[in-house]
Every structure is written in C-alpha cells, then in structure tokens.
Structure 1
Amino acid sequence: MREKGRTRRLIGLGARTGGALLKNRLGGQADWRALGEALFEGLSELKGPAMKLAQIVSQWDDILPPDLADELARLQRQAEPMPWPRIREALVLQYGDLDTVFRDIEERPFASASMGQVHRAVTHGGETLVLKVQYPGLAEVLETDLFQVRRLMRLGRWFKVPQSRLDALFEELATSLREELDYLAEAEALARYRERYRDVENLVIPEPLPALCGPHVLAMRYVEGTPLRELEGTDDERRQKIATALADWITAELFTHGELHADPHAGNFAADEQGRLVIYDLGAVIAVPKASLDSMLQLLDATLAQDPMAMDQAMLKMGGRQGHGAPLALYREAAEAVSPLFAPGEQDFSDVRVHRRLRELSPKVWAAMDRLQPPADTLLLSRALNGHYWNLVRLKARLNMAERTGPLLARARG
C-alpha cells in the first residue's frame, strides 16, 4: 500500500463527499447514487479505516439518502478482494512454505472486508479450515488513514454535530480499529465465547486453532452456513429461529455478561443446516458498563411512557443534551414511533410503518442537533444496537419485546 497514493485518493473522496453534502445543504439536488458508486469503487480498493467507517455508516439506512445507503451497503457484501499474490505474501510470512502446512488454499476469497479477507484451506489431514488474512501493510498505514478519516468526519459539523461529539466518535472508531488488527486477541475472544455458550444449542461459534494463528492470520475450523443477508427469502420458520437466537444472544451479552458484539453487519452472521445462528467474527467486542445500560433503560422507560419531560431528564443524565430548550415535540414523535415495537404481544419487525416513521424522524433529529446529541460515551453501543436491530428487520423477526424488556425495566426502576 503506497501511503501517498492512499492519502490523495482519500482526500479526493472526502472532497467529493463534502461537495455533495454542501450542495444538498444549500438546497440543490445531490446525486447520491453517483457519490455512492464513487465511494464504493474507491474504498473497496483502498480498504482500511475509511472503508470501515463507510460500512458503519451504511448500517444507518434509516438516516442516509436511500441511493447512497444502497451503494455503501455493497461494501458489506461485494467489496473487491485484494489480489492473491499480496495475500499469499502475508500467509508466507506467517507459515513459511505453505505446501508443508496446507494441501490446498483457495485463491479466491469467499469473504472480503475492510481489514482482511477470508480464504478456505485444507490441511494434509483433510480438514477444512478458514484463514482470515489481514491485508498486508495495513498496520503501517493505519494512523495515516485515521488522520484522513478525522478530516472526513469534520463534515459532520455541517449538521450541527459539535466537535466534541465528532472527536468522541473518532476516538471510538480509532480504538476499535486498532484492536481489530490484533488477530491473536480475536482468537482468544472466540475461545472465550465458545466456553461461555457451550451449552446453548442454537448458537455456533467457530473453533480457533491457536497453533495456526498469528498477529495477522486467524485460523478457524470451517463452519458452513447461509449468510444472514441471504436468509430474507428463506422459509419463515428458519428465519424466526435465527431471529430468536440473535435476540436471545444480544440480551444475554448485555445483561448477563456486560459485553456486546460491536460489528453487526450481516456478513458476520449465518445459519447452519440445523437452523442455528453462526457467529463468525469476534474482532470487535466492547465492554458495556452497568451504568450505561441503566441510563439507556431509563430513557426507554420514559419513551414507552411517552413522557417527554422524563425523556429529556434521561438524555441530560446521559450527557446527550446541550443548549437551551428541550425538543419536547420531537420526543413525543420519537416515543410514538418507537412504542409500537414494545407493545404487548408479538411485534413484527418487518412492519414498514415503523421504519417509515423512524425515517421521517431523521431530518428532524438532524435539525435539532444544536440541542440533541448522542451521548459521547454510548456512541459505539448505540451504533452496535442499531446494526443488530436492522439485522432483525432483515430477518422479518416477530418478537415479544414487551416480554423481553419488562423484567429489565422493572429491575432498573428498583
């Protein structure tokens, strides 16, 4: 990866993005599809932090213009793979003579992401493995890329997002990316999660192979599965089984173990032939302090009570408000939009009326950014929960959310 060339391309993409945002802000009609195509092509080739940021943003498909969201979403499923010779270099650095370790390695990856790509391999004993290979040279250019990403994020000030919030979001992203480069830490996370959920029948976590793992290559036993994004057209029973497993797992992670999988894009999950949820990637796991959970439950409680003043008090307590004048009308609309998902009985996550109301709220939220801000210390948690929510939407989940959240809310009140 040539650092100067990467920097020029990132600056160019940033300028094009800024131009589109400025045109839209001044009342013009930005070509979001063309911008999305340019970002897909450029970031797909460059990989790294900027592509990761775009993948994160693409999960906010209730906020982005639909054409832009559609193009950025391609980064989660169609990113251009790095040529095999470069990947082979990384494997040789890890293993030396590949022929002495593997009988075969598929040169074409079956998954490509922002920080690495995944290749199937077969050992001389006939066992099929997957090798998650970090893109060569990525660690060396990470800090330079992050500097350019910080410049890109300054565009958020045009939407009245304070610099302190942008700084917090950047630090969150930078920390998670630095941690994600440590494949030995991910191997340890896989082992920890396998032990934690060894008795949960509807959950599958691949087994890491420590003898074959290194700082830039993660080796796991191969677990075949149908990617979550391909389950939308499958039979309803299978989808509901996976959706229930996903919701149960997220609940256990948060309220039993105080952690959360923080990279919820659909490519990290699958369903095996037995209808179990497969979790492939544990490169981004965050600790969730009890105080953060209690604050979010307090906000949810006020929202379900449709009490704007209590919602504002909860936001102030979380550090999510600034300036003068609570946006009470916006709180009321938000409560009316969210409450149906938590009504008694089974709720349908494919109900387009809920998503339409949430989407209609987005420009009003942006307009109130001088008073209403996401709390700085819950940005990553909020983003992860948002991504998991949209995975449930894709699965057309039907869940009794009132039954799930009722005991949690009662415990928080006590």
Structure 2
Amino acid sequence: MRERGRTRRLMGLGARTGGAMLKTRLGGQADWRALGEALFEGLSELKGPAMKMAQVMSQWDDLLPADLSEELARLQRQAESMPWPRIREALVLQYGDLDAHFRQIEERPFASASMGQVHKALTYDGDTVVLKVQYPGLAEVLESDLVQLKRILRLGRWFKVPQARLDALFEELAAGLRNELDYQAEARALARYRERYACEPRLVIPEPLPELCGPHVLAMRFVDGTPLRELEDADDTTRQAVAQTLADWITRELFTFCELHADPHAGNFAVDARQRLIIYDFGAVIDVPHERLTAMMGLLKATLDQDPMAMDDAMMALGGRQGQGAPLSLYREAAECVAPLFEPGEQDFGDVRVHRRLRELSPKVWGAMDRLQPPADTLLLSRALNGHYWNLVRLKARLDMHARVAPLLDSAGLASPR
C-alpha cells in the first residue's frame, strides 16, 4: 500500500478508536468487538508500528474491554503474511543471487509478525536455518506511522493524562520501535545471551549466523520446539517445568543483569523435547536501572503490606502520581487483589478469580487517571512484565512467589513481606 493510502487508513482506524473511547467516556456503550475486528483486519494488512502497538495493547488483558482484547490478541497468532514475491525482493537485496547461498528457501513463512516474518531455509552444508526478514519499505514508513500513533495517543487527554506525559510515553514507544528495526543489534544480543546462559541447561538460545546477517535480515540456526501458546493443554509436569524456568530467567535478568526481554509475545518462546525453554526473538531488550528496580520493589513491599499510604509514597517515588488526593480506596482494592499471589506456599496463576478481580478494577483505574499516571520511562518495562505475567497465567503456573520475592526485598533494604 502506498504511503498516502496507508496514512489515510491509519487515520480512519484512529478516528474509529477515538469514537469508541469518547462514547464510553460520555457514559455510552461502545461496540468493542466490532472495533477489535476492524483493527485486526486493518492492522494485519498494514503491519508495522501500528500493528506492533496493537499487539502490545492486547497483552493488557486486565485493562482493555474483554471483547477488544480478544480480537487484538488474534494479531499475535493469525496475522496475515506478506506475499512471497515481496519477501523475496528483500532477500535478493540482502544476498543477491539466492541460489548461491541457499539450496532451498520455504516460500510459506514459518512465522509472521508485525515488523517481519520468518522463513526456513536449507544451506548447501545441509544446515536448516531461519531467516527473519524485515518487511520491505518498513523503515521508510516508520516515521509516518509514528505520526499517526502520536495522534492516537493524544486521545489519552480525554482520560486526563497530561500532554507532557503522553509525549514522554510516545518517545519511549518510538525509540523501542526504531530499535527493533536494527537486526544487526539483535544479532549481537543473541550472541550476548548465548554466552550469558551457556551453562544454563534449561534455556536454549538460537545461534546467530553473522555471515548471513545484514541490516534487514537476521539469520540463525533453526531450533525446533512447541510454541508456548500451544502448551496450555500440555501435561501439568511440562507446564510447571517451563513456568519455573521462565520465572527463574526473568528474575535473574532483572536482579543480576538489570536487563529484561521486552517482547513477551508468546510466539517468541517455545519448548523443546527436553522441556527446555527456547527464546527466539531478541529485538527488544531493555536496561532496567538499579534505582528504578529498587523503587518498584518499594511499591511491591507496600502492596504486600496492604498499606495504602506507603503505596502512594511509592507511586510518587516512581513518578506515577500527580495532582491532589491519593486514591487510597483503589490502592486498598489493588493490594487485596495482588497480595494473595505472594502468600507463603505455591500460588496458582491459573486462578481466574484473581484476574477477574483485576479486570473489575480497570474502570476505577481509568477513572483515577487524573492522579495515577504510567511513569513515562517505564512503558516498555511495564508492558514486558505484564506480558511475562500473562505467559505464566497461560501456563497455569504454580509458584512460591513469597520465597522468590522475600530475599529480593531483603537485598533491596526492605523487610520481607508479612
């Protein structure tokens, strides 16, 4: 689609989204299912930053209306693939004569995503590799797409989100999207993580192939596995082993290396026959400064103590509060929802009662947006943690979060939770 037509279509989707939000704000009932279907159809075809943003939103299961969330979630597993001739153009631009490099390239994609799609190939040495191919022309339309996304984000003013905060959120989102177009940086991240976890027997990270990598194509050895999203009906032993590995890895990333894998899309993870967790995609890895981590642990400690005043102090320290009047009753309800997950002993992440209560809080959270604001420099971090949490939910994880969190709070200079 030409850039002008693409912009016009994004503007139309933005206007439709804004209309639904305005109707809800005025006390009406929006047709979230119809909006979700329209967004799925339009963004699946357009791909790029707008589709990526919708995938991010779909991971906020506890904030979005259920019908809208369900439709957007389809973008994570049913997105339209780009026709092979366009992908072949990108491969020829990278390699020149494809027959000189590969014995065979499968025209049907192995996976499709918002910024690129993956094709399996066979080298003349007999190795099966995967080629992550950036959609042709994506870099050229990125900035015009971001202009439209910025306009859509401005709808947040209807929920009393200050313009300065919206601008800061946009800049963090934009930086993350631009970074995801740098496939050479992702190849370096793959190599770094392979070295970091070389002695971890429960993790598998594919090997990048530098001689076949370029600005718009990332090549790595093929590692077969069952996608994480297909494990919901797996046997309990497998699910619990994978959940434990995922939780251990996230904890180590944050508290040992001060980094976090920031694209928890379930399609980026799989499990091999030995129950090892495979991590395919490293296009989004973010630094987590120690002081930011300490402030977040302060909020967790106050939440586990179910102390609304301390929660407000922690929110202020995070930059997540403004205006007058702390929403103490909302803090109290939120703490009552979250605290049970951190009680001593194994807690069941598959317990739908917890998620139902969180979803019931969503209207109250939106209603308090004049005082509660997402910290401007933690958009990607919050999104990543939320997405990893929902992956644990889908695995029906049973984890002793009390035992996991207590030493971390102690090391941060905070007392263990009651």
Smaller-chain TM-score range?
over 0.9
Cross-structure match for 2:395: 395
Shift of 1:319: 1.2
Q: For 2:241 and 2:54, locate their aligned partners in 1 and report how far apart those are by CA, in whole Å.
A: 30
For the 8 Å contact 2:173–2:379, the answer to whether it is kept is no
Cross-structure match for 1:269: 269
CA offset digits 1:233-275 (Å, max 9, x no partner): 1111101111011000000100000100001111111111110
- In the TM superposition, 1:4-403 aligns within 5 A as 4-403=4-403
For the 8 Å contact 2:7–2:148, the answer to whether it is kept is yes
For the 8 Å contact 2:40–2:75, the answer to whether it is kept is yes
Q: For 2:26 and 2:374, locate their aligned partners in 1 and report how far apart those are by CA, in whole Å.
A: 25
For the 8 Å contact 2:169–2:379, the answer to whether it is kept is yes
Q: Normalising by structure 2, report the TM-score.
A: 0.98
Shift of 1:161: 1.8
For the 8 Å contact 2:77–2:267, the answer to whether it is kept is yes
For residue 396 of structure 1, give the secondary structure of its aligned residue in structure 2.
coil
Q: For 2:21 and 2:389, locate their aligned partners in 1 and report how far apart those are by CA, in whole Å.
A: 27
**What code does the residue aligned with 2:363 have?**
P
For residue 218 of structure 2, give the secondary structure of its aligned residue in structure 1.
strand
After TM superposition, the structure 1 stretch with the greater mean CA deviation from structure 2, 164-173 or 270-279, is: 164-173
Q: For 1:164 and 1:52, locate their aligned partners in 2 and report how far apart those are by CA, in whole Å.
A: 23
Shift of 1:383: 1.2
**What code does the residue aligned with 2:276 have?**
R
For residue 286 of structure 1, give the secondary structure of its aligned residue in structure 2.
strand
Shift of 1:413: 2.1
**What code does the residue aligned with 2:129 have?**
L
Q: For 2:102 and 2:142, locate their aligned partners in 1 and report how far apart those are by CA, in whole Å.
A: 30
CA offset digits 1:111-156 (Å, max 9, x no partner): 1111000000011121110000000000011111100110011111
Which segments of 5 or more consecutive residues in structure 1 lack a partner in the other structure? none
Which segments of 5 or more consecutive residues in structure 2 lack a partner in the other structure? none
Shift of 1:33: 1.0
Q: For 2:369 and 2:33, locate their aligned partners in 1 and report how far apart those are by CA, in whole Å.
A: 26
For residue 260 of structure 2, give the secondary structure of its aligned residue in structure 1.
strand
Shift of 1:403: 0.5
Q: For 1:160 and 1:357, locate their aligned partners in 2 and report how far apart those are by CA, in whole Å.
A: 24
Shift of 1:172: 1.1
Shift of 1:107: 0.5
Q: Normalising by structure 1, report the TM-score.
A: 0.99
Q: For 1:226 and 1:163, locate their aligned partners in 2 and report how far apart those are by CA, in whole Å.
A: 43
Runs of 4+, deviation exceeding 3 Å: none
Shift of 1:158: 1.6
CA offset digits 1:190-223 (Å, max 9, x no partner): 0000000000000000000000000000000000
**What code does the residue aligned with 1:227 have?**
P
After TM superposition, the structure 1 stretch with the greater mean CA deviation from structure 2, 95-104 or 281-290, is: 95-104
Shift of 1:160: 1.9
Shift of 1:25: 2.0
CA offset digits 1:71-121 (Å, max 9, x no partner): 100111110001000000000011111111111111010211110000000
For residue 133 of structure 2, give the secondary structure of its aligned residue in structure 1.
strand
After TM superposition, the structure 1 stretch with the greater mean CA deviation from structure 2, 369-378 or 82-91, is: 369-378
Q: For 1:23 and 1:324, locate their aligned partners in 2 and report how far apart those are by CA, in whole Å.
A: 27
CA offset digits 1:344-371 (Å, max 9, x no partner): 0001000111111111111111111111
**What code does the residue aligned with 1:159 have?**
F
Q: For 1:364 and 1:160, locate their aligned partners in 2 and report how far apart those are by CA, in whole Å.
A: 14
Shift of 1:312: 0.8
Shift of 1:18: 1.1
For residue 184 of structure 2, give the secondary structure of its aligned residue in structure 1.
helix
Shift of 1:24: 2.0
Identity in percent: 79
For residue 377 of structure 1, give the secondary structure of its aligned residue in structure 2.
coil
Shift of 1:22: 1.6
Shift of 1:317: 1.2
For residue 254 of structure 2, give the secondary structure of its aligned residue in structure 1.
helix
Q: For 2:100 and 2:3, locate their aligned partners in 1 and report how far apart those are by CA, in whole Å.
A: 34
**What code does the residue aligned with 2:201 have?**
E
CA offset digits 1:269-320 (Å, max 9, x no partner): 1111110000000000000000000000001001101111111111111111
For the 8 Å contact 2:242–2:276, the answer to whether it is kept is yes
For residue 413 of structure 1, give the secondary structure of its aligned residue in structure 2.
coil
